């Protein structure tokens, strides 16, 4: 029994040591949650710096014993953003674990935007290190509970009253109208003598024809649909003088994160781009001179002649055509539609539709396998 206990303690120490080797899970490190929508498939965490703090920026850390600690910080010089919904996390019901064998981070999160009880989930994530932070990519969902919807279904069902349609016949309909208080003790209304009271009820008769005519004369006002000028809302993104750091070079995966260019965010060979006029994309690579090397990073090259962008400002659809690669410019080419979403430190392009994706590397691999089989 003692041996088993020693082995369990030893394994726990090994797992904790392995987790501490990952900067993300070091309890002394703090991270800015870039997008408050933590229930999405990806979670983007960038390293904490005072220069990145905006209005009510959520800063968290992965503390010991699987605890999640967080707080909000504010830069008084930053104006508010009405498009941001601020997240609150129930730390008593939230936790994290790390599997050193599969290198999988498991998160249990209970949180909400108006209360702590909006939703609760348990998910497994792959940790992807990116420029100036990490992206947690969901690989498995154990459960997701919409606590708001659950509370409604568990309560007594609300029965909607059956709508009663007004019936208008050829007979005269009676309308009851209140008459305001008058000074005389008796008044004559519609040839009917009534006595003074605190409020008096008088029968007034109208015909079906009169009711229909009254309805016809009422003006019908149709409110015009509210149009949002997304181009104005995201004008900094489309300003040709603005420069953006591509957070993750794997641009062919899922969503695309762009953070505003700042020298403090540079590591090594960071792709910095701008959305130029006439749908062109201009880019270059920059590095922090203090960083000597960085192993294990795939650097993306873009064929700017075959790459373009366009934006539908009425429907918030950003269409992107990209040709590029890591070994050459001819690895892949795709055309996709994204919606633009602003967050505290940049913009996210959320993929909604794929027109096509051509992977030029696959036919070469297939031909190579065929030659090997023949031998």
What is the model's pLDDT at position 291?
73
What is the model's pLDDT at position 173?
46
Per-residue pLDDT reduced to its tens digit, 38-96: 998 889 999 898 888 877 889 999 999 999 999 998 877 766 555 667 889 999 999 99
Per-residue pLDDT reduced to its tens digit, 233-254: 888 999 989 999 999 888 888 8
Neighbours of 130 (CB within 10 A): 20
CA dihedral 253, 256, 259, 262 (to 10 degrees): 50
pLDDT band at 159 (very low <50, low <70, confident <90, very high): low
pTM over 0.85: no
Is the CB of residue 24 less than 8 Å from the CB of residue 137?
A: no
For residue 176, the cross-strand partners are 203
Handedness of CA 189, 195, 196, 198 (dihedral sign): negative
Per-residue pLDDT reduced to its tens digit, 314-355: 999 999 999 999 888 889 999 999 999 888 788 999 999 999
Place of tokens 């990209």: 322
State the average pLDDT over residues 108-113: 93
Per-residue pLDDT reduced to its tens digit, 303-318: 999 999 999 999 999 9
What is the model's pLDDT at position 312?
93
State the average pLDDT over residues 265-280: 90
Task: Tell me which DSSP letter residue 55 carries.
Answer: T
What is the model's pLDDT at position 229?
82
3-state secondary structure of 321: strand
């Amino acid at each position: 029994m003692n041996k088993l206990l020693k082995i369990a303690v030893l394994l726990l120490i090994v797992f904790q040591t392995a987790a501490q080797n990952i900067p993300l899970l070091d309890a002394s490190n703090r991270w800015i949650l870039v997008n408050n929508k933590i229930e999405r498939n990806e979670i983007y965490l960038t390293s904490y710096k005072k220069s990145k703090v905006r209005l009510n920026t959520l800063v968290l850390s992965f503390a010991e014993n699987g605890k999640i600690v967080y707080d909000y910080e504010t830069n008084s010089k930053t104006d508010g953003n009405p498009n941001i919904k601020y997240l609150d996390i129930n730390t008593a019901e939230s936790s994290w674990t790390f599997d050193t064998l599969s290198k999988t981070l498991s998160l249990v999160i209970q949180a909400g935007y108006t209360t702590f009880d909006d939703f609760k989930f348990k998910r497994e994530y792959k940790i992807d290190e990116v420029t100036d932070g990490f992206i947690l990519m969901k690989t498995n969902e154990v459960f997701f509970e919409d606590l708001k919807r659950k509370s409604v279904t568990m309560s007594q069902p609300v029965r909607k009253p059956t709508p009663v349609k007004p019936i208008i016949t050829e007979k005269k309909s009676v309308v009851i109208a209140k008459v305001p208080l008058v000074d005389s003790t008796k008044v004559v209304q519609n040839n009917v003598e009534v006595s003074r009271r605190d409020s008096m009820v008088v029968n007034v008769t109208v015909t079906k024809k009169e009711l229909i005519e009254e309805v016809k004369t009422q003006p019908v006002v149709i409110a015009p649909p509210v149009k949002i000028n997304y181009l104005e809302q995201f004008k900094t993104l489309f300003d040709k003088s603005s420069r953006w750091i591509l957070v993750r070079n794997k641009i062919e995966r899922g969503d695309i994160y762009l953070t505003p260019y700042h020298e403090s965010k540079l590591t090594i060979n960071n792709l910095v781009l701008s959305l130029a006029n006439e749908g062109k994309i201009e880019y270059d690579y920059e590095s922090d001179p203090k960083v000597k090397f960085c192993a294990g990073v795939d650097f993306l090259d873009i064929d700017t002649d075959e790459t373009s962008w366009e934006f539908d400002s009425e429907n918030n659809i950003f269409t992107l055509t990209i040709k590029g690669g890591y070994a050459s410019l001819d690895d892949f080419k795709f055309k996709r539609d994204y919606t633009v979403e602003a967050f505290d430190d940049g913009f996210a392009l959320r993929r909604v539709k794929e027109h096509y994706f051509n992977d030029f590397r696959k036919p070469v691999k297939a031909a190579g396998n065929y030659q090997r089989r023949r031998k």
